Amino acid sequence: MLETIIILIKVWAVLIALVSGAAIMTWVERKESAVMQDRLGANRADILGFRVIGLFQPLADGLKMFFKEDFIPDRADKFLHTLAPILAFFPALVTFAVIPFGDVLKIGDLVIPLQIAKLNIGYLYLLAFGGLAVYGTVLAGYSSNNKYSLLGGLRAAAQMISYEVCLGLTLIGLIMVYSTLQLDKIVQQQGELLFGFLPVWGIFLQPLGFLLFFPAAIAETKRVPFDLPEGESEIIGYYTEYSGMRFGLFYFAEFVEIIVLAALVSTLFFGGYQVPYLYADGFSFPWGGHWVLPNLIIVLLQLASFGLKIAFFCWLQVLIRWTLPRFRYDQLMRLCWVGILPLAILNILLTGLILLLIKP
């Protein structure tokens, strides 16, 4: 009974953090693009005259979508039209279940792992549920009875399925290095030191893997410069016939995916919740010296470290979105099959060769 309660608390904590973070990301995108373009950005929404630099804008956006007309085309498939945004939103949420956001929290004799689902196939879980999002986009285009929506859905299917292949291959090098599919064990191993002072983060062991994984993952989120399925500037994407909260789910899922991607990059390549030289009993420095800390302080430092890494990669994704122009479709597919895929296979071969040379 107690274990079930703890799991439910972790689920709700992560859910609230994701939803709140996605709402804040809608404000971050507006503000960051405004700064880059020498504008003020969102700053008009207020409560009782208080504007708080536009932070009430996500609330205003949510209320607007909630009260807008929920339109369904007459000849559309109403069931699939309703199901599609759910299928697009749900995988983005459940993917976070296997991402560890801390080590363990000790309350007396109770030890609470700071991870919702401690699966021994966490890596496969990520790929499986991450791949489900394509069904939402395809069904949205098909069910709308609109040729432009259908084109957007077909573009989404081709793009996401293609980049899923590359996404999986770019991470095989990490599995070979850390010899596990469990994300919590991958993060724990990244707390060790290389040459006595350098954290064994994935970015140091798999730099090519990171350079290939990041663009492939952005392509999976369908963000600029890979936003051909949505066609935001032409308004002919797979959700052309959506409005109200159905459109809101597609819109919100995009920002949840930004956070999930930032958490994945942090977990796999930048140590996750790890703080350099911070261990289960406190700081232990390679040049000597030990600083003992209580478990609660250690957990708070880990949560802060993970949160800062996520914030940085969220900022980086928004920066890329407002910097680069959109690829042509042939360029997008060429990047996948001619650019990333051969290099991902080369990375696997090089990783295997190096492991054979350095391991007995």
The CA distance from 66 to 59, in Å, is: 11
| Nearest C-alpha neighbor of 168 from the set 328, 345, 41 | 345
Segment 115-144 shows an average pLDDT of 90
The CA distance from 9 to 7, in Å, is: 5
The CA distance from 218 to 261, in Å, is: 8
pLDDT of the residue at 360: 62
The separation between the first and the last C-alpha atoms of the chain, rounded to the nearest angstrom, is 47
22 occurs within a structural domain? no
pTM exceeding the 0.75 threshold for the entire prediction: yes
Q: Tokens 């430092």 correspond to what residue?
A: 301
142 occurs within a structural domain? yes
What's the pLDDT band for 235 if we cut at 50, 70, 90? low
pLDDT of the residue at 261: 95
pLDDT of the residue at 290: 87
Each residue's pLDDT tens digit, 241-291: 999 999 999 999 999 999 999 999 999 999 999 999 999 888 988 888 889
Looking at the 3D structure of the chain, how many domains does it have? 1
Q: Is the CB of residue 208 less than 8 Å from the CB of residue 269?
A: no
79 occurs within a structural domain? yes
The CA distance from 99 to 58, in Å, is: 26
The CA distance from 25 to 355, in Å, is: 40
Write b or e for each residue in 102-140: b if 16 or more Cβ atoms lie within 10 A of its Cβ, otherwise e.
bbbbeeeeeebebbbeebeebbebbeebbbebbbbbbbb
53 occurs within a structural domain? no
Share of the chain above pLDDT 90, in %: 66
| pLDDT over 70 (residue 22) | yes
**Angle between helix 295-321 and 2-36 (nearest 10):** 40
pLDDT of the residue at 45: 86
Domain membership of residue 172 as a residue range: 72-358
* Number of CB atoms found within 10 A of residue 333's CB: 17
pLDDT of the residue at 340: 96
What's the pLDDT band for 230 if we cut at 50, 70, 90? confident
Q: Is the CB of residue 91 less than 8 Å from the CB of residue 129?
A: yes
Which of 110-124, 257-271, 330-344 shows the lowest mean pLDDT across its residues?
110-124
273 occurs within a structural domain? yes
* Number of CB atoms found within 10 A of residue 173's CB: 26
Q: Which structure tokens are listed for 146?
A: 């609109």
| Nearest C-alpha neighbor of 179 from the set 6, 352, 360, 3 | 352
Segment 71-98 shows an average pLDDT of 91
Each residue's pLDDT tens digit, 310-322: 999 999 999 999 9
292 occurs within a structural domain? yes
pLDDT of the residue at 108: 83
Task: Tell whether omega for the bond before 229 is within 30 degrees of 0, i.e. cis.
Answer: no
Share of the chain above pLDDT 70, in %: 99
What's the pLDDT band for 195 if we cut at 50, 70, 90? confident
Write b or e for each residue in 64-82: b if 16 or more Cβ atoms lie within 10 A of its Cβ, otherwise e.
ebeeeeeebbeebbeeebe
pLDDT of the residue at 349: 97
DSSP state of 50: B
290-292 sheet: strands from edge to edge: 278-279, 282-284, 290-292
Each residue's pLDDT tens digit, 159-194: 999 999 999 999 999 999 999 999 999 999 999 988
44 occurs within a structural domain? no
Segment 293-309 shows an average pLDDT of 95
151 occurs within a structural domain? yes
Which of 101-110, 231-240, 344-353 holds the top average pLDDT?
Answer: 344-353
Segment 223-229 shows an average pLDDT of 89
**Angle between helix 57-67 and 2-36 (nearest 10):** 100
> What is the SS3 assignment for 99?
coil
The CA distance from 183 to 115, in Å, is: 10
pLDDT of the residue at 246: 92
Average pLDDT score over the chain: 91
Each residue's pLDDT tens digit, 25-83: 999 999 999 999 999 888 888 888 888 888 899 999 889 888 988 888 888 999 999 99
| Nearest C-alpha neighbor of 141 from the set 77, 195, 217, 94 | 77
Segment 302-313 shows an average pLDDT of 96
